[in-house]
Copies of this chain bind each other. A is one copy, B any other.
Amino acid sequence: MASLLIKEILATPPASQDVTVRGWVRTKRDLKNLVFVEVNDGSGFNGIQCTFDRGSAGSLGEELEAALGAVNTGSSVEIRGKLAPSPASGQAVEVAASDLSIIGDAPAESTGNIAAYPLQKKRHSLEFLREIAHLRARTNTFGAVTRVRSRLGFAVHQFFQERGFQYIQTPIITASDAEGAGAMFQVTTLDLEALAKSGKAPDYTKDFFGKRSYLTVSGQLEAETYATALTRVYTFGPTFRAENSNTTRHLAEFWMIEPEAAFAHLEDNMILAEDFLKYLFNAVLSDCAEDLAFFDAHVEKGIIDTLKSVINSKFTHMSYTDAMAELEKAGSNAAFEFKPYWGCDLQSEHEKFLTEKIVKGPVIVTDYPKEIKAFYMKMNDDNKTVRAMDVLVPRLGEIIGGSEREDNLDRLEKRIREMGMDTADYSWYLDLRRYGTAPHSGFGMGFERLVQYVTGMANIRDVIPYPRAVGQAEF
């Protein structure tokens, strides 16, 4: 692009060269002889200071004074001047400005049928900002969230591409409730008004796909079909849950990352997950330092230290059985709401206790009871536990879940039947075990949970541009 971003201007050595700044005004301060206008274009956390000096004349001239007078918070402007070293602390350069054009107004007060710009210079609650989600990226908080999210998204691709993983897109619409992982959204082109009037059961042969179709809950099974052809693949796409859970950790639509590797056992999977998290955290610590400093200061104190400590940890490996023994031993001291016992699913309080109190660092718990894990996980020789793994990190608990997959045809068919499912529905999935089967492993990570972890944002609805939840599909 022809014009420079403010991020680029801020990184340019000042030599009184001509510079043009475009962006939105954050603040204007009009002192006796100086007018300071801070302009931000969202390319980085920091805006650039533009200083207009009235000099000995005491005025910038009629036209420019009028333009400066009309500038409000939120106005889009173009400012021309010379790039100069800044006398102020905390910024290397500023613009010795000589000209300003207002591109777009942002009225500070209601005028005619246009309400005042809602983002006046003051603190706004996150709840209020959720209602104006189309404008909230203009604030410090949501600008920072967006940049961190973008950097993490790119780092996901860099990590896998550097390691020979192929990026694949698994289907969003599917006629198979493959994983049985939760409530699904139905996708249809049937005319529901006509259907209701007809009084006749829906005829899915007339629906777009000729059968009942849904939004996917996971791309894993399809990813396995590609891992057993290309060895290393990953997905990064939206997944859906139609669960009526109105919490700060659930969305109906969220993005998921799912690597899958053939000739990889659970041990390889654990190393991959550990390397992955460290790579992601390093990427944002290096490239989003100002955004993270903001989160550390204003959103969750200590978040930078948390990320660094994960990077500097060797992840502990612990079987579910050992983890449960530790939790039972902690027993009454821990004051769990939910008493842990062998066979129970680990609750968030147990996960946090394990990583924060017992291990004091990241821990990968493996070999869970088969009853609490999915049908496709590889059975251990004890026939009681499966080669599952959950990666737990301090301050959050589970951030990644994965497993080695059952690669034995007979055992997988048996497991499908045991769980009351129909092997015919999984015929294509079973083919992977019929033809050139190979050990393979993978994991899934919810992208929004990752962004929450890195930013410290308490509500998952604040780390995705337009959150979808019960009753919420605006914009």
Q: Which residues of A contact B (CB under 8 A)?
A: 1-3, 5, 7-8, 22-25, 41-43, 74-76, 78, 103-107, 114, 117-119, 133-135, 137-138, 142-143, 146-147, 149-150, 153-154, 157, 161, 163-164, 166-176, 183, 185-190, 192-193, 195-202, 208-211, 213, 215, 222, 225-226, 228-232, 237-238, 240, 242, 244, 252-253, 255, 261-264, 268, 271-272, 407, 428-429, 431-439, 464-466, 468, 470-475
Contacts and interface: CB of A to CB of B under 8 A. Distances in A.
Contacts of A465: 168-171, 222, 225-226
B103 A208 contact: no
Contact of A210 (B5, B133, B183, B471): B471
Contacts of A142: 229
A272 B263 CA distance: 42
Given A167-B150, A253-B171, A192 B189 contact: no
Given A147-B230, A169-B464, 20 more contacts: A1-B268, A74-B436, A76-B436, A103-B438, A117-B435, A134-B222, A146-B166, A169-B465, A171-B465, A171-B475, A175-B473, A190-B192, A196-B201, A208-B252, A209-B470, A209-B471, A209-B472, A211-B473, A237-B237, A428-B475
Nearest to A6: B231
A229 B186 contact: no
Contacts of A166: 42, 146-147, 150
- A-B pairs, top 8 by smallest CB distance, nearest first, are A42-B230, A104-B437, A137-B229, A209-B473, A150-B166, A76-B436, A175-B473, A134-B225
How many copies altogether? 2
A224 to B, nearest CB: 9
A171 B439 contact: no
Nearest to A102: B436
A200 B429 CA distance: 41
Contact of A173 (B7, B186, B225, B468): B468
Nearest to A213: B473
Given A196-B198, A231-B43, A475-B428, A167 B187 contact: no
Question: Of A185, A472, A473, which is in contact with the most chain B CB atoms at under 10 Å from its CB?
Answer: A473
Contacts of A192: 186, 188, 190, 192, 195, 202
Contacts of A238: 169, 172, 237-238
A163 B231 CA distance: 32
Which of A22, A201, A433, A435 gathers most chain B CB within 10 Å?
A: A435
Contact of A186 (B118, B188, B272): B188
A164 B434 contact: no
Contact of A208 (B1, B237, B242, B435): B242
A22 B263 contact: yes
B226 A137 contact: yes
A271 B202 CA distance: 51
Contact of A188 (B2, B174, B185, B222): B185
Nearest to A212: B192
16 contacts: A3-B268, A24-B436, A76-B438, A134-B429, A142-B229, A169-B255, A171-B466, A172-B240, A174-B473, A192-B195, A196-B202, A208-B470, A208-B471, A209-B471, A209-B472, A210-B473
